[in-house]
Structure 1
Amino acid sequence: MRRAGPTTGASIGLVLAHGRGGSSADILGLLDHAGLPEVAAIAPDAPGGSWWPTSFLAPEAVIGPHAESAVATMETAIATLEAEGIPRASIWLGGFSQGAVLALETFARKGEGLAGVFALSGGLIGTGDAEGDPDPGLYGHGPKRFGYQGRRDRAKVWMSVHERDPHIPLARVRDSATVLTGMGAEVMTQIYPGAGHAVMRDDIEQLRRWLNR
């Protein structure tokens, strides 16, 4: 795991997950862009540069074991910040693309008590396959169940995506926002017009705004 910011004395922590083919160094660069030198950040590296080898929309039998392993890695990073004295309620999750999916999934599965999550081009994986045919709105994949447990009251969620993201279907982003709202989180969804798959200026501004509180 790679670090940025102070390792002692910080009051806010951030666990960041990189996207497919990225690295911990890449995703930690978000802190420089957002101007957050006082935030204690930690970012793990995925084996081989990818948290899972397929689309996050793949069936549970394919994606499930990879998701469980990746979420466990994020839990270890959270525990590291807690051991350094940062309260769980002051720890955020974040990521881009595949990393945004992982941040959201960690928050939904294991994020009780956390401050919130920044998901830049991501959506929830889900807890299992649901009945239904392959859906063009899910890029030809089938629907999922979202049987997450616990509440996420008072946590904040920022989810952003382009209207025509080649990897993240808008339908899954909207479903994810509904699920997390139902768990008690305050969800803000930013949909950028047109096609794209990138971190945008509004994402950086929101990161700066929320973590400077």
Structure 2
Amino acid sequence: MKRAGPEKARAGLVLAHGRGADAADILGLWQAARLPDVAALAPEAPGHSWWPTSFLAPAAQMEPFVARGVAAMDTAVRQFEAEGIPRSRIWLAGFSQGAGLALETFARQGEGLAGVLAFSGGLIGTGDAGGTADPALYGFADKRFDYPGRRDGAKVWISVHERDPHIPLARAQRSAEVLAGMGATVETAVWPGAGHGMLPRDLDMLRTWLSA
């Protein structure tokens, strides 16, 4: 776990890195956002990857890795709480694998948190929904999204390219529907064309929401 920002902060940001990156790398996002009164914590995945396969893979392949990642994110949230930052001022964010992990942590254990920003990501799901392979999900079958509690008052940002090689647009859109159904205020951005990365508006949203 790496930390950046003031010892006594107004708000906290838990950042999850993508595949092949590390905590120091994703902390660069906090630095680029220029949030002097916000502290950031970034857990680090073993081997620089939260899970070894596509996040669309069957639940039996994903769940042990997802549970470990969610626990790491929750540890960071609890550290901020121990520092005196209330849950209502703690945000989650991430890119790619980290975006999926941030969304999944928010859906599973994010009651009371300020919200989550997912840059090129989607929910992982709580189990297999059955059915056949779906071309809209890159040949994987659908998942269940059975999450507990409500997320009223929280804000969610999900961005994705129209043709992202790793994140199906259908899963990003379904993620937005699920979290809106839990009471969160959800905004989505679909960038035109093919790609897998952040755009300037992503950073603008992070800066705007955490500065409010």
Shorter chain as denominator, the TM-score bin is over 0.9
* Alignment correspondent of 2:3: 3
Q: How does 1:93-112 map to 2 (within 5 A)?
A: 93-112=92-111
Q: TM-score, normalised by structure 2?
A: 0.99
CA contact (8 A) 1:31 1:37 kept: no
Segments of 5+ residues of structure 2 without an aligned counterpart are: none
Q: Distance in 2 between matches of 1:98 and 1:185?
A: 22
The alpha-carbon deviation at position 34 of structure 1 amounts to 1.2
Task: List, as ranges, runs of 4+ consecutive aligned residues in structure 1 with deviation greater than 3 Å.
Answer: none
Task: Describe the superposition over 1:119-172 as per-residue Cα deviations: whole angstroms up to 9, x where unpaired.
Answer: 000000000001211001000000000000100000000000000000000000
What are the within-5 Å matches in structure 2 for residues 33-44 of structure 1?
A: 33-44=32-43
Answer yes or no: is 1:120 the counterpart of 2:123: no
Letter in 2 for 1:64: E
What is the match of residue 198 of structure 2?
199
Range 23-32 or range 170-179, more displaced: 23-32
Instruction: Give a deviation string over 1:28-84, Cα, whole Å, max 9, x none.
Output: 101221111221100011000000000000001100111011100111010000000
Matched residue type, 2:199: M
Q: Secondary structure at the match of 1:25?
A: helix
Partner of 1:23: 22
Normalized per residue, the structure richer in strand is 2
CA offsets, 1:175-201, max 9 Å, x none?
000000000000000000000111110
CA RMSD of aligned residues (A): 0.6
- Separation in 1 of the partners of 2:199 and 2:27? 16
SS of 1:114's equivalent in the other structure is coil
Cα drift, residue 11 of structure 1: 1.3
Aligned to 2:31: 32
Task: Please give the alpha-carbon distance, in whole angstroms, between the structure 2 residues aligned to 1:167 and 1:71.
Answer: 20
Aligned to 2:53: 54
- State how many pairs are aligned: 212
Provide the rounded CA distance (Å) in 2 between the counterparts of 1:180 and 1:41. Answer: 24
